[in-house]
Amino acid sequence: MAKSKKPIGFVNGKLYPCPKSPNCVSTQAIDEKQKMEPINYSGDLKDAKAKIIGIVNSLKRSKIITNEENYIHVEFRTATFRFVDDVEFLFDDKEKVIHFRSRARMGYSDMGVNRKRMEEITKLF
């Protein structure tokens, strides 16, 4: 499995920014083309994480790589060529929102796959 050479994770409560390529979406993106709204939740962090984990595990070709107190990193493999996409969830329990970033590990365009995936996860939540 190829390791990501692009930064994964977060610093000072923010996920790393999307690259300038169109194969990334994030709730914390500055570029409007890459920006999506965070997922709102009520209740406690533990329940929100359990719900995200359940959704992720219900989707094909997903593998949870990191599961920390307020952060989850998931790898998704694309159906056709098995390219890896990195999806990250950062839980802000104070604001009761889940920030996320989803990006293709390789290439420039993803044909909208990352946006569609995050729209689906948001809808399922």
Interatomic CA distance for residues 63 and 15, integer angstroms = 19
Interatomic CA distance for residues 121 and 48, integer angstroms = 13
- pLDDT value of residue 92: 98
Q: Are 6 and 19 in contact (CB under 8 A)?
A: yes
pLDDT mean by block of 10 residues, the chain; 125 residues: 66 92 95 97 97 98 97 91 92 98 89 92 98
Is there a domain that residue 118 lies in? yes
**CATH number of the domain within which 71 lies:** 3.30.310.80
Interatomic CA distance for residues 1 and 31, integer angstroms = 30
The interaxial angle of helices 113-124 and 45-58, nearest 10 deg, is 130
- pLDDT value of residue 49: 98
Task: Specify the number of domains making up the chain.
Answer: 1
- pLDDT value of residue 111: 80
The boundaries of the domain holding residue 92 are 39-124
- Read off φ and ψ for residue 85, nearest 5 degrees: -110, 140
- pLDDT value of residue 5: 59
Is there a domain that residue 23 lies in? no
